[in-house]
Amino acid sequence: MATGPATWDYRDAHHEEFGNTYFRRYGDGLVSSIGLGTYLGEPTDAVDEEYEEAILTALESGCNVLDTAINYRCQRSERVVGRALEESDVDRDAVLVATKGGFVPFDGERPDNPGEFVKEEYVDAGLVSREDLVAGSHCIAPDYVEDQLDRSLENLGTEIDLYYVHNPETQLREYPHERVYDQLEATFTRLEERAAAGDIGHYGVATWEAFRVPADHPSYLSLPEVVERARAASREAGTGGTHFRAIQLPFNVVMADAFTVAAHEGADGATSALWFAADAGLNVFTSASIAQGDLAEELPEAVAARLEGDSTVQRALNFARSAPGVTSSLVGMRGRAHVEENVAAGRFDPLGAQAFDAVFE
Ligand SMILES: NC(=O)c1ccc[n+]([C@@H]2O[C@H](COP(=O)([O-])OP(=O)(O)OC[C@H]3O[C@@H](n4cnc5c(N)ncnc54)[C@H](OP(=O)(O)O)[C@@H]3O)[C@@H](O)[C@H]2O)c1
């Protein structure tokens, strides 16, 4: 598990290579504001090898945030994160390992008949009820999420610092908001218990649409309500304070709505997901920080001119990690060259608050 002292030692070994605020607070520890994601790529041995090289390079280079999910690349991404952590000379306790559960995962490869696989392995096996399964692939019921958490612990071979409930807004395709919040609270209660037992450090919610869309959008979830449900879960589990610590959402130059859409009721009225999270003391991890590769090619000129970096991708990453409240911007990266270029974005200073606001004027 990541610890304060080990992450501070990691920072001490690397911080001179980086600009201002490259390492940021995460509880009593510090994490890099550029993190490695493992979503994209085919479920093959060749891609596993590319990720393994990328993770080892990242850990050596000053990136101590690894993000995965049980369903990524048919569980291969979690397994490769586990192997790389085992192989790396970097102290496991210096690394924030995050994963997610919610989407029913395949195992090693895509089955010929995915529907049949889900039915046999999950529904018939009693792990998912037909009622809780949405879109044939998504479930956030407490028993199911706990079973997924156990599988992730096995895949990773280590405790999980941050466990996200993955894209809970998927449930809104078939169920009303109240049911989704109730199920989140029930699942959070289990995650509180698992945190108390030491299997996970903290938990959170990873979303694609929920927190960045307007309040009247069908995929909207209220961040204040989710936080309230986590507090209730902590009371139910008797953990003496919630272990809900983080959210993940997409944020980049062309998807900036987590900053621009004021959809969450804060103390002074409606505010954006990023500002609400910052005020609530939550850690924010941005996904798709370079728009799934598109921003490696081209950035809007007016924005690029304000950002520091030697390359387009570095400027794009420096935009994402300049936003208020962002702890770390995740970027999917394979192989040594992409990691070296992306982590080197951290040698430049991010935009200050005023300069960041000015981009939107
Ligand atoms: N809802 C959710 O919870 C959610 C959704 C999406 C993503 N995520 C998380 O966020 C992470 C980041 O998002 P993402 O991977 O979807 O998108 P991304 O980080 O915006 O983009 C990744 C893509 O950019 C390419 N790339 C990386 N560095 C590059 C460079 N220096 N030059 C050129 N191309 C480069 C990668 O290629 P290579 O792979 O070849 O390096 C990959 O195709 C994910 O990996 C995942 O961990 C979470």
DSSP 273-337: HHHHHHHHT-EEEEESTTGGGGGGT---HHHHTTS--SSHHHHHHHHHTTSTTEEEEEEE--HHH
Q: Which atom of ligand 1 is nearest to the CA of 337?
A: 31
Which residue do the tokens 């600009």 mark?
19
Question: Among 73, 254, 338, which residue has the most ligand 1 atoms within 8 Å of its CB, making it the best to mutate?
Answer: 338
pLDDT by position in tens, the chain (length 361): 999 999 999 999 999 999 999 999 999 999 999 999 999 999 999 999 999 999 999 999 999 999 999 999 999 999 999 999 999 999 999 999 999 999 999 999 999 999 999 999 999 999 999 999 999 999 999 999 999 999 999 999 999 999 999 999 999 999 999 999 999 999 999 999 999 999 999 999 999 999 999 999 999 999 999 999 999 999 999 999 999 999 999 999 999 999 999 999 999 999 999 999 999 999 999 999 999 999 999 999 989 999 999 999 999 999 999 999 999 999 999 989 999 999 999 999 999 999 999 998 8
- The pick from 38, 39, 97, 212 for probing ligand 1's pocket by mutation, whose C-beta has the most ligand atoms within 8 angstroms, reads 39
Residue with the smallest CA separation from ligand 1 atom 8 is 287
Q: Is 36 helix (H, G, I), strand (E, B) or coil?
A: strand
Q: Positive or negative, the Cα torsion across 158, 106, 195, 33?
A: positive
CATH number at residue 199: 3.20.20.100
Neighbouring CB atoms inside 10 A of 241's CB total 9
Atom of ligand 1 nearest to the CA of 68: 47
Question: Cα of 288 to ligand 1 centre, how many Å?
Answer: 6
Query: Of the residues 213, 333, 343, which should be mutated to test ligand 1's pocket, given the most ligand atoms within 8 Å of the CB?
Result: 333
Return the closest-CA partner of residue 206 out of 267, 283, 133.
Answer: 283
Distance of CA 68 from the midpoint of ligand 1 (Å): 11
Q: What does the block give as tokens for 305? A: 């001119």
pLDDT at 68: 99
What is the span of the domain harbouring residue 251? 4-359
* 3-class SS of residue 269: strand
The rounded Cα 140 to chain-centroid distance in angstroms is 17
In this predicted structure, what is the pLDDT of residue 286? 98
Radius of gyration of the chain (CA): 19
Residue having the nearest C-alpha atom to atom 30 of ligand 1: 338
Considering its fold, how many domains does the chain have in total? 1
Pocket lining: 204 vs ligand 1, CB cutoff 6 Å:
no
DSSP assignment of 57-98 equals HHHHHT--EEE--TTGGGGHHHHHHHHHHHH-SS-GGG-EEE
Quote the pLDDT of residue 361: 85
Instruction: Indicate whether residue 254 lines ligand 1 (CB < 6 A).
Output: no
Q: What is the mean pLDDT of the chain?
A: 97
315 CB under 6 A from ligand 1? no
The pTM score is 0.98
Nearest CA to ligand 1 atom 9: 287
The amino acid at residue 238 is: G
How far apart are the CA of 254 and the centre of ligand 1, in A?
A: 15
In degrees, to the nearest 5, what angle opens at C-alpha 332 toward C-alphas 330 and 336?
Answer: 115
Beta-ladder partners of 255? 252
Give Cβ neighbours of residue 246 (< 8 Å, ≥ 6 apart).
Answer: 98, 162, 164, 202, 203, 204, 282, 283, 284, 285, 327
